[in-house]
Structure 1
């Protein structure tokens, strides 16, 4: 059955079955992923996916169901399962099917240059990436070399007249070279995100990956102590992503965020502004509407150090007696609506990375953090993480550092940010950050 006919019949049958309101959310997409090794295609995968979820309101409760098949049996199954789901709900939280907003902003999330992408050209490019990487004499292995393309089309239709669709696509390529010197091996990553095949430069990707790997060679362990620290943009991104849930109103209402009822309070240094921006040009999570059909907008979660809002969907906003922030998102078509950020980042400052090192004088730069899932507590904010980076002396990188552990508290860290750089970066992620100077961090070394 065609989607248009299926959608119309499902909504009609839903109302006839006794639902007060009904809604359909659908997503469809395709992806091409190509990995190469030793000059040959190691893995080639082409995937297409479609999924649809149905929500129906019955006696004030909303039941969910989902399918990947569109036929008459699926319609009956969706209605039956959604009814049963609604009957099993025991909490009294208000549930909503949204009528829509008057205006939805345009977003830049789809490149027409990537339509009908040439898989043969993708293979040629990723082979060139591997070839360029191997030209460096100290590269002894490649732990991964890949190019991938994905596109998606998704939307919402309901019985209150809402009809929304949006599409996005993305192309990326990366390489992970391993270099060796005097028996020591280190790896690095070079990558790019592009709007067209012409934007992928194999030489640039290879150079980036090899340069990073070489910079880690001959690392040393430094003595334990408290150090003035630069958290490099990618390391700061790791922390922001790990602790992003503290800004969720759903977490706060469940007692899982220390920011509950802290709106209006200072939670960071006054130079810190944290933004959730679903309208960011070419952002990986840019969208004109959330998965409840609410128009999205740019908002400052933290403005000059002050917590201005938590992130809300319709349910959490109703419980808090505020307006939703348009952050009602689903992990997939088969999931229920939760609360998630879109493009989340710290606003950049004015100082370059070299200027940050000059301001520190002597201290450390943390470039890599590991153990984020096991070594960070998103409720208390405490973290203890394996780290790598560089020692700074006289405002310049002196030598690489390794086998150290960085410990602290995320809430304290936000208050101890002294300077923010201008190198805002989104490393293959919807979370971004510039590099920042932290007053001091506890480092366990030798």
Structure 2
């Protein structure tokens, strides 16, 4: 059965069964992943997935169901499962099927240059990344991983209120993990890129980045325990920002699971900090003109010059708060209920180069990597105690690599003690981005 025919039949039968209004969300995805090892294709994986979810409002409650098949049996199954789910709900939360907005922004999330890609061209790029890594330095003894992937998706929302929305996106991503050996010790690094055109995938540059990162770790040692003025490198700050993104979730706040409850309008960070959620970012990994409830998305400052402006809201939490949704109602998959997520989420860049930030530190620590964030970070209290790697800074320059340390602090306090922000905003294969920044101090447990 074709989609339009399926949609018409589903809506007709659902309304006849007593639904007041209902909605279809569909997702059609294709992905190609190629992994190489020792100049041979190790894995070639092509996946195509289609899924469709139905939700409907009946007797004031919302029922959900989903399918991967479009036929008349699926129509009846969706309706019956949704009715059963709705009747089992005990929550009094008001649910919504959105009527739509007057305008939706145009978003750059799809590149025509990635249509009809030649898989042989992708294989060649992957082989070139591996070869360039090995030829860049004679210290490269192995490759921990080398892969290139292409993905595209087409998704949309239709409902009985007349809403009809569709969008599509595509992207190439590639990475290589060179392993070097120096004096019997092995170190790894990772070179990577995301691109909207195959010509933008530069195997030599990717290999260089990965090998140089591995070489930078040679000779690492611990440092004495104590408090250090700290420069957090952009990639490390991205991982920290991602680990604590949930504190800005209005649903968590309304359930008492975020210390930011009721803090809108209050200062929660240094004056120089502006934290942005931008679903309209050109070629952003999470750019979209609408959220999964059909709400038009827009760029917003979550923190504006240190003050908390808003939390992330979907229709349900916004109704509870008596405000307009921020357009952050998203599903983790077509089969999931609507929750809350950021889109392209980042700290606005400053005007200091990494060299200037290092000079500003004078003497202290540069953290380039955090490990174990999900087990060492408490998103409710903001406390974290996590393994880290980086460099010791003396006389405003990197002195030697640092490893075998644990960095501890509190995320809420860290935001307030940011002293300088760099101009090197980066999204490392992620929809979360950050520039490098300097914080007043962090507690380090070392030797």
Q: Secondary structure at the match of 1:127?
A: helix
Q: CA deviation at 1:4?
A: 1.4
Tell me, yes or no, if structure 1 residue 151 matches structure 2 residue 152: yes
Distance in structure 2 (CA, Å) of the matches to 1:70 and 1:330: 21
Say which is worse superposed, 192-201 or 160-169, in terms of deviation.
192-201
Counterpart for residue 392 of structure 1: 393
Partner of 1:215: 216
What is the alpha-carbon distance in structure 1 between the residues aligned to residue 218 and residue 132 of structure 2? 21
In 1, distance between residues paired with 2:83 and 2:119?
A: 44
Q: Secondary structure at the match of 1:419?
A: strand
Q: How does 1:6-405 map to 2 (within 5 A)?
A: 6-135=6-135, 136-405=137-406
Query: Secondary structure of 1:373's partner?
Result: helix
Deviation of 1:66 after TM superposition, in Å, equals 0.2
Instruction: Report the counterpart of residue 2 of structure 1 in structure 2.
Output: 2
Q: How many aligned residue pairs are there?
A: 446
CA distance in 1 between partners of 2:287 and 2:196 (Å) = 15
Displacement of 1:159 in angstroms is 0.2
Q: Deviations over 1:286-335 (max 9, x none)?
A: 00000000000000000000001011000000000010000000000000
Q: 2-side partners of 1:258 and 1:99: how far apart?
A: 33
1: CA distance between counterparts of 2:401 and 2:55? 54
1:232-270 residue CA offsets vs partner (Å, 9 max, x unmatched): 001100110000000000000111100001101100001
Inter-partner Cα distance in structure 2 for 1:198 and 1:356: 33
Q: Deviations over 1:378-405 (max 9, x none)?
A: 0000000000000011111100000000
Q: CA deviation at 1:31?
A: 0.2
Q: SS of 1:364's equivalent?
A: strand
Q: CA deviation at 1:123?
A: 0.4
Return the offset for 1:200: 0.8
TM-score scaled by length of structure 1:
1.00
In structure 1, C-alpha distance between the alignment counterparts of 2:350 and 2:291, rounded to whole Å: 29
Q: CA RMSD in A?
A: 0.5
Q: Distance in 1 between matches of 2:437 and 2:202?
A: 29
Structure 2: where are the runs of 5+ without partners? none
Structure 1 residue 16 displacement after superposition: 1.0
CA deviation vs aligned residue, 1:97-146 (integer Å, no higher than 9, x gap): 00000000001100110011111110011001111111120001100000
Name the SS of the counterpart of 2:260 in structure 1.
coil
Q: CA deviation at 1:184?
A: 1.2
Compute the displacement of 1:196 (Å). 1.4
TM-score (norm 2): 0.99
Partner-residue secondary structure (3-state), 2:123: helix
Distance in 2 between residues matched to 1:11 and 1:208, nearest whole Å: 53
> 2:24 & 2:145 partners in 1: Cα distance?
39
Alpha-carbon offset, residue 8 of structure 1: 1.4
Q: Give unmatched runs, 5+ long, in structure 1.
A: none
Runs of 4+ in 1 over 2 A off after TM superposition: none
Partners in 2 of 1:435 and 1:229 — Cα distance? Answer: 11
2:320 partner SS: helix
CA distance in 2, matches of 1:251, 1:41: 45
- What secondary structure is seen at the aligned counterpart in 1 of 2:97? coil
Question: In structure 1, what is the Cα distance between the partners aligned to 2:171 and 2:82?
Answer: 34
